[in-house]
Structure 1
C-alpha cells in the first residue's frame, strides 16, 4: 500500500472589479484587438483598495473547505504560494490561519512566482507522504496589479489578481497509476535567466519595484520547459500523454498554452483555459483554472490531470494527479 495525497476540496475567489482590455486604450498605445491577438486575454480582475493577498486567499480557502465539507479545525497546515504578500512578514499564510480561526498546526508562504502553486502542491504532497501532516490547505494568491508599471504596455495588460485553493489529504493507494491523488511531481529552476522576468525592487533596495519581462525570451523558454516537465512527471507516474484527460496549465498566454499542448501531442479540447477571463494571475492561475474546470463540469473524479507552470527565476515544474 502507498500513501497518496488526494484532493478533498477546491475553491477560488476573484475581486469584484473587472478590467476589460479597453481600460488600457486611453493611456497606452494599445487596443482590445492587439491584446487579444497576442495573448488571448480579454479581461482581468483587479483588487479593490485595501483588498490584500491574504484577504483573497482567505475567501478561496473558505470556498475549498466548504467544497470538501471541512472545517478549519480539520487542517494541519496552510501553504500560500505568492510573490505579493501583504507584508514582508509575517507570512500571508499565518494571516489566513488567523482569519480562519485556526489556532493549531503550522502555516508558511512559498515563493516561486508563477510556478508557486506547483511548488506548493509538491511540498504539501511531501508533507503528507512523509507523515508530517494529514490534511493541507494549499493556496495560490496574488495582487500583481500592485507591482505593474502602467506605462509599460508589454506587461501591464497581461496580469490580474485572484486566488485559488485546494485541500489535499492523505489516503491509501495501491502504488499504481490507477490510484487517486498526486502521482508524480517535477520541480526545476535555473537562476541564470533572472533578467528575463523579475521585479526591479525589493526589501534590501527599499523599493517596491515593478515587474519587468523580456516577452520573447520567456515564450521561448516556456514552451520547451513546460512540455519537458510535463513529460517527466507523466513518465514518473507511469502514464502516457494519451492517457491525460486534462492539462491545466499556468494561464499566462494563449499562444504558450497552445504551443505546449501541441508539443505534448494533445488537442486544445483537453486543455482548461481561463486566461481570457483572468489574465495571468501568477501563482493563483492554476488553482483558479482547476476550480473553474470543476465548476464547469469538465474535471471529474478519476480524471488524469497535468498541471505545469513556469515563472521568474526561472522556476518551473509540473504535477500529475488523478482527481
Structure 2
C-alpha cells in the first residue's frame, strides 16, 4: 500500500515576542487574568516585513531541510490559512515562488484553526491516489492583523506563526508501517456566529475583525475534539491506550486539559505550546508538532494524534505512526 509518511517538519515565528505584561501596557488586562483563563504567557506578533507567506516560506524551508530533500523535489503545496497575504492569488503560490519551485500544484485551504488537518487530508488523499509523490503541507497565520485590539477577551488569545511538514509517498507492505493511518474531518456551519470575522470581500469589502463567544466555543471544542479523536482511532484500529502523543490545536490550556480527561489520557502525553505561542490558528498544530520533534519527545514509530477545531465550526483529527 502507499502511505503518506512525514519525513520532515519545520516552523517559524515572528521576531517580536510579546508577554502578557507587555499587553497589559496597552490593553485593560493582567498577566494573572490571561494565565488563569487560558494558560497563555507569550505570543509572537508579525512585523511590517513579516507576512503569512514569508513565515510559511521559512517554516517550509526548515521542513524541506529536515526531510533531506530540495525544494525542486516538492510537487504539491497545500497551505492552510485564514489570513492570506492577498485575496488572490493564493499564498501557496507565493511560497512556491519564494522557494524557487518552477512548477507544482499549489493552493490554499481555508478551515481556520482546523485548516492544517484539512490540508493534511487533502495532501494525503492526493498522494494515495498516485497524483503526487512529495507534498509540502503548511499552516501559517498572521492573526494579529484581524484582531480588535480594544477587545481584551479576544486580542490576548492569538499570535502569529507558521509550521510545515513534508509528506512523502512510501510503499509499505506492513500494517504497522509508518505514515498517516487515518483522518477524519467535520463541519457544522450552524455555529458561524460563535467564532467569525465580521468582514469579507463579498459582504463588507473589508478584512474585518475577529469575534468570538468564548464560553460557547469552549463547550463545543471539548465535546467535538474528544469525539473526533475517538472516531479516528477507531478507523485506525487503535485505542487511546495506543497513543504516545497528542498534538492538539493550541487554543486554550483548559480545553486541552478537559479533552485529555474526557479521553482518559494523562496530561504528560499532550504536547502543550499555547503558553509560548498562544493560538496561532492553522499554524498551531504544525508548530507544536515541530517543537516536540526537535526537542526529541516524538520518536519514529510512535503513534501521534493531531487534532483541531476552528470557526465554522470545523474540526478534525489525524492518526500518524511517526
Bin for the TM-score computed over the shorter chain: over 0.9
**Shift in Å at residue 166 of structure 1?**
0.1
Consecutive unaligned residues of structure 2, counting only runs of 5 or more, are none
Q: What do the CA deviations read for 1:39-69 (whole angstroms, capped 9, x no partner)?
A: 0000000001131100000000000000011
Distance 2:239 2:314 in 1: 24
Q: How does 1:149-298 map to 2 (within 5 A)?
A: 149-174=148-173, 176=175, 178-204=176-202, 205-298=204-297
Which structure 1 residue ranges, 4+ long, deviate > 4 Å from structure 2? none
Q: What do the CA deviations read for 1:114-171 (whole angstroms, capped 9, x no partner)?
A: 0000000011000000011110000000000000000001100000000000000111
SS of the residue aligned with 1:203? Answer: coil
Distance 1:309 1:165 in 2: 16
Matched residue, 1:55: 54
SS of the residue aligned with 1:150? Answer: coil
Distance 1:56 1:235 in 2: 35
Distance 2:25 2:52 in 1: 28
Distance 2:25 2:19 in 1: 12
Tell me the number of residue pairs that the alignment of Structure 1 and Structure 2 aligns: 321
Matched residue, 2:29: 30
The two structures have a TM-score, normalised by structure 1, of 0.98
Matched residue, 1:86: 85
Distance 1:63 1:6 in 2: 17
Distance 1:139 1:100 in 2: 13
Distance 2:164 2:120 in 1: 10
**Shift in Å at residue 3 of structure 1?**
1.1
Q: How does 1:301-312 map to 2 (within 5 A)?
A: 301-312=300-311
The two structures have a TM-score, normalised by structure 2, of 0.99
Matched residue, 2:19: 20
SS of the residue aligned with 2:97? Answer: helix
**Shift in Å at residue 29 of structure 1?**
2.5
The alignment yields a C-alpha RMSD, in angstroms, of: 0.7
Distance 2:227 2:31 in 1: 33
Consecutive unaligned residues of structure 1, counting only runs of 5 or more, are none
**Shift in Å at residue 27 of structure 1?**
2.9
SS of the residue aligned with 1:308? Answer: strand
Mean Cα displacement is larger for which, 282-291 or 202-211? 202-211
Distance 2:25 2:96 in 1: 41
**Shift in Å at residue 30 of structure 1?**
1.2
Distance 1:55 1:306 in 2: 28
